Amino acid sequence: MKFLKQNPKVLRDRSVKLCIDFLRTVFIITLSYLFVYPLLFMVCTAFQDPTSVNDPSVILFPKKWSLESVKEMIEVLRYWDSAWLTLIIAVTSTLASLVSCSLVGYGLSRYKFKGQNLIFMLVVLTIIVPPQTILPSKLLNFQFFDFGGLLSLIPGKPSVNLLNTVWTFVLPSLFATGLRSGLFIYIFKQFFSGLPKELEEAARIDGCSAMQTYVRIIIPLAVPAFITVTLFSFIWHWNDLYSSSMFFTNDVKPLMPLLNSLDTLLERSSIGSSAYVARTYKASATLLTILPPLILYIFTQKYFTESIERSGIVG
Amino acid sequence: MKTKKQLGLTTRLSWTGFLFTLPFVIGFVLFFLRPLWQSLTFVFSKVDITLDGYITTFNGLQNINYIFREDATYTTNLIESLTNLIWQVPLIVVFALFFAIIMNQKFRGRVFARAVFFLPVIIASGIILNIIQSDAAASSMLSGEVVSGGTSSQSDALKDLLANSGMDSKVISAITMITDNLFDLTWKTGIQMILFLGGLQGISPSLYEAAEVEGATGWESFWKITLPMLMPITSLNVVYTIIDSFTDANNKVMLQVMNNAQLVRYGWSSAMSWCYFLLIAVVLSLVFIVFAKIQRSGDRIKY
């Protein structure tokens, strides 16, 4: 009691701090549970023996581990082909977006020219128009692709069919109008605006051309922005559902549309899609689908969590 | 001996700038403007696929008439996805802000907590969410316990509790709607939280020090410093949350658009997505107006 009378303020501050610490810990543990538990549950279900999936005494960890459903789903999804296709799409489109979007962002942020504001408004327009609005006509354009009328100059071959090829993703990305390219242009533009103006002047005085300045001076300084865009572009291409299910009509598709039509796939296979029996199979398919980005995340986690802060998007 | 007049430096620079943006200009015409214009014409026409192309025949407002008068689900889907947008976007943004403020503090295990909190960015895909959620719900039904948020038994209990305490039924349904979707909403905060974190770290610590010297409490400096400084990012986040909902696998309007397109009903599909886009455009312009107003009133206080 004597202590209380002596230091009321210090004591109050300390107890408030303790309270906040406690609440924060509880909150973080609760949310971590909310984020991690479903994943853990999915992994456990995926490796469970399919016959014992309805055993009510199994709470989380299976009594009998088995690879059966994973093996089965590798066949049903045609996993190696589909995953390879998804990987190729994600990697090539990401590379294409990196080149095109960084150039456009650089032009928009470091140069002044007539129509610059108009072009930026158009970039914003590509961000806010739902991709589905242009998907049907994009589909037709790719089915009968004529390079904007160039192919019609050659007689005998009016168009080529680009559906079911990676070009449906890579071509728009090469021209900075691919999946969420507008956002990438925005990220680069914001980053480049933060660099000191004197860079280009010094380079020009030393005799660098615009392209040389860009490659030798700007790119090395913009590594954080490039990392951010690489990670997000990869993840978004991997997780894309709408465009990939439109542009790929064969059996070998990117993984997301396959996962979306999982019920049909299970129905067609010997497994069937009745809710409870199919649970381990569905969990295995989901695990197989998110495994590659998850592995990427584990190794690049540091860049993810620090990327946006360092790339100065918000600054 | 000059054969050609040298261009002035500014002219040359402005041409270089334009050349840098040229990829986008070409792409915009080829892969955006052209399909956009085509899909607008599809809205007012009948589209037939032939062997080496397609034919459109003008049919006036038939497609629009069809989607609103005859299609059984479009209108309800449209209303549902708009109402979802209106109540979910503010919640997602507020959650993200809350998470970001917590993640921005210094505490033990912060690196681990960050790694976990960014998981939704990687798995932010509606299909996967649906599967893992129904998974956990199914198992909770089996073992008779509630595993994760949003299972029916939990919200039933909550409903009873609130009804017994004499609450209005509309308020109750609003509350249970939020608790039912808590899982989804927290999983959708990934990118928004990263943006807020970036914003929080951009606020100069000297502002808080000055406020503390003047005797402001933490609560006051949150409302007077943190929130106003984060306003630009908040508007960015609201816009991002809205555009992110387009590609959500649970967006019924978009699923309907996709299904119709896959069934080669391009006219209906285009009409549906254009009507949706026009409504979204109205929402987005309202957002812009509101945030411009907030920004302006903030400026007035400053000077």
Does A290 fall in a domain?
A: no
Cβ within 8 Å, pair B102-A24: yes
Query: What's the confidence (pLDDT) of residue A6?
Result: 58
CA A86/CA A235 separation, integer angstroms = 11
CB contact under 8 A, A259 and B149: no
For residues B284 and B290, give the distance between their C-alpha atoms in angstroms, rounded to a whole number: 10
Amino acid residing at A110: R
Q: Which two tokens stand for residue A214?
A: 């860009």
The domains of chain B are located at 61-124+189-303, 129-187
Nearest CA to A260 out of B127, B122, B245, B135 is that of B127
**Looking at the predicted structure, is the pLDDT value of residue B155 above 90?**
no
For chain A, the domain total comes to 2
Please list every residue in chain B whose beta carbon sits closer than 8 Å to the beta carbon of residue A275: 138
* A84 and A45 fall within a common domain: no
Domain match, A139 and A37 both: no
In a domain, A312, yes or no: no
Q: Is the dihedral of CA B39, B41, B44, B46 positive or negative?
A: negative
Confidence at residue B147, expressed as pLDDT on a 0 to 100 scale = 41
Identify the pLDDT of residue A157: 67
- Let me know whether A144 and A253 are in one domain: yes
Candidates A127, A171, A260; nearest CB to B243: A127
Residues of A in contact with B32 (CB under 8 A): 126, 129, 134, 177
More confident residue, B250 or A54: B250
CA distance A269 to A273: 9
Closest CA to A293 of B249, B243, B124: B124
Tell me the β-bridge partners of B55. Answer: B48
ipTM: 0.86
Q: Are B138 and A254 in contact (CB under 8 A)?
A: no
Give the pLDDT band (50/70/90) at residue B136. low
Identify the three-state secondary structure at position A65.
Answer: strand
H or E segment at A4?
A: helix A2-6
Tell if the CB–CB gap between A305 and B35 is shorter than 8 Å: no
Task: Please check whether residues A91 and A239 belong to one and the same domain.
Answer: yes
For residue A64, being part of any structural domain is answered with: no
**Inter-CA distances, A265 with A72, A79, A103, Å:** 12, 13, 42
**Is B32 close to A308, i.e. CB distance below 8 A?**
no
Specify the pLDDT at position B138. Answer: 61
From A32, A127, A133, residue closest to B113, measured CB to CB:
A32
A58: in domain: no
DSSP state of A47: T
Min Cα distance B31 → chain A (Å) is: 6
Judge residue A175's burial from the number of C-beta atoms within 10 Å of its C-beta, 0-12 exposed, 13-18 middle, 19 or more buried: buried
Q: Which residues contact A71 (CB under 8 A, 6 or more apart)?
A: none
Does A121 share its domain with A224? yes
User: Which of these ranges, B60-64, B113-117, B144-148, B152-156, has the smallest mean pLDDT?
Assistant: B144-148
Query: Residue B144: its pLDDT value, please?
Result: 45
Q: Calculate Rg over the CA atoms of chain B.
A: 25
Bridge partners (DSSP) of residue B53 are B50
| A178 close to A97: Cβ distance less than 8 angstroms | yes
Joined tokens for residue B137: 């719900």
Residue of chain A whose alpha carbon sits nearest to that of B95? A31
> Does residue B96 have a pLDDT over 90?
yes
Looking at chain A, which residue has its C-alpha nearest residue B257?
A: A132
- Residue A308's pLDDT is 62
Q: How confident is the model at residue B195 (pLDDT cuts 50, 70, 90)?
A: confident
| Residue A145 DSSP symbol | B
A103/B21 touch (CB, cutoff 8 Å), yes or no: yes
Cβ–Cβ gap A34/B54 under 8 Å: no
pLDDT of residue B28: 94
Whether residue A175 sits in one domain with residue A91: yes
Q: What is the pLDDT of residue B283?
A: 92
Whether residues A153 and A44 share a domain: the answer is no
> Which chain B residues are within 8 Å of A121, Cβ to Cβ?
none
Are A33 and A131 in a shared domain?
no
Question: Nearest CA of chain A to the CA of B43: how many Å?
Answer: 11
Helix A116-128 to helix B227-244 angle (10° resolution) is 60
**What pLDDT score was predicted for residue B148?**
42
Domain B61-124+189-303 -> CATH class: mainly alpha
**pLDDT-flagged residues of chain A (< 50):** none
Residues of A in contact with B199 (CB under 8 A): 314
Query: Which has the closest alpha carbon to B92: B234, B204, B215, B264?
Result: B234
Across the interface, do B197 and A309 touch by the CB < 8 Å criterion? yes
Q: Is A253 on the interface with B (CB under 8 A)?
A: no
Binning chain A into helix, strand and coil, the percentages to the nearest 5 are 75, 0, 25
Name the residue range of residue A243's domain. 77-260
How many residues are given for chain A?
Answer: 315
Any idea what DSSP says for residue A110?
H
pLDDT of B6: 65
Q: Residue A31 and residue B117: Cβ atoms within 8 Å?
A: yes
Distance of alpha carbon A100 from alpha carbon A172, whole angstroms = 10
Residues A40 and A113 in one domain: no
| Same domain, yes or no: A122 and A39 | no
Query: pLDDT exceeding 90 applies to what percent of chain B?
Result: 23
A161 close to B (CB below 8 A): no
Token digits of residue A126:
């590509």
Interface of A with B in 101-160 (CB under 8 A): 103-104, 106-108, 110-116, 119, 122-123, 126-141, 144, 148, 158-159
Residue type, B8: G
Domain harbouring A197, CATH code: 1.10.3720.10
Distance CA A110, CA A93 (A): 25
B39 CA: distance to closest CA in chain A (Å) = 6
Instruction: Please judge whether A141 and B35 are an interchain contact, meaning their C-beta atoms are less than 8 angstroms apart.
Output: yes
- In terms of domains, do A183 and A241 share one? yes
CA nearest neighbour of B64 among B49, B75, B52, B53: B75
Burial label for B282, CB within 10 Å (0-12, 13-18, 19+), is exposed
Bridge partners of residue B49, in order along the sequence: B54
Does residue A292 fall inside a structural domain? Answer: no
**pLDDT tens column, B271-298:** 999 999 999 999 999 999 998 888 887 7
Taking an 8 Å cut-off on Cβ atoms, the answer to whether A304 and B27 are in contact is no
Sort out which chain B residues have CB atoms less than 8 A from A300's CB and list them.
none
Minimal C-alpha gap between B125 and chain A (Å): 6
User: What angle in degrees, to the nearest 10, is found between the helix axes of B9-27 and A167-174?
Assistant: 160
**How far, in Å, CA of B237 to CA of A35, rounded?**
21
Tally of CB atoms within 10 A around A31 = 18
Asked if B189 contacts B210 with a C-beta cutoff of 8 angstroms, the reply is no
A94 and A148 inside one domain: yes
Task: List chain B residues with CB under 8 Å of A235.
Answer: 121-122
What average pLDDT does chain B have?
Answer: 82
Q: What is the 3-state secondary structure (H, E, C) of chain B?
A: CCCCCCCCHHHHHHHHHHHHHHHHHHHHHHHHHHHHHHHHHHHCEEEEEECCEEEEEECCCHHHHHHHHHCCCHHHHHHHHHHHHHHHHHHHHHHHHHHHHHHHCCCCCHHHHHHHHCHHHHCCCHHHHHHHHHHHHHHHHHHCCCCCCCCHHHHHHHHHHHHHCCCCHHHHHHHHHHHHCHHHHHHCCHHHHHHHHHHHHHCCHHHHHHHHHCCCCHHHHHHHHHHHHHHHHHHHHHHHHHHHHHHCCCCHHHHHHHHHHHCCCHHHHHHHHHHHHHHHHHHHHHHHHHHHHHHHHHHHHHC
Cross-chain residue pair B26–A123, CB shorter than 8 Å: no
Flag if A107 and B247 touch (Cβ within 8 Å): no
pLDDT of res. B146:
42
**Residue A137 within any structural domain of the chain:** yes
User: Alpha helix locations (H) across A175-278?
Assistant: 181-193, 198-205, 210-212, 219-221, 223-239, 242-247, 255-260, 262-268
Q: Do A38 and B21 touch (CB under 8 A)?
A: no
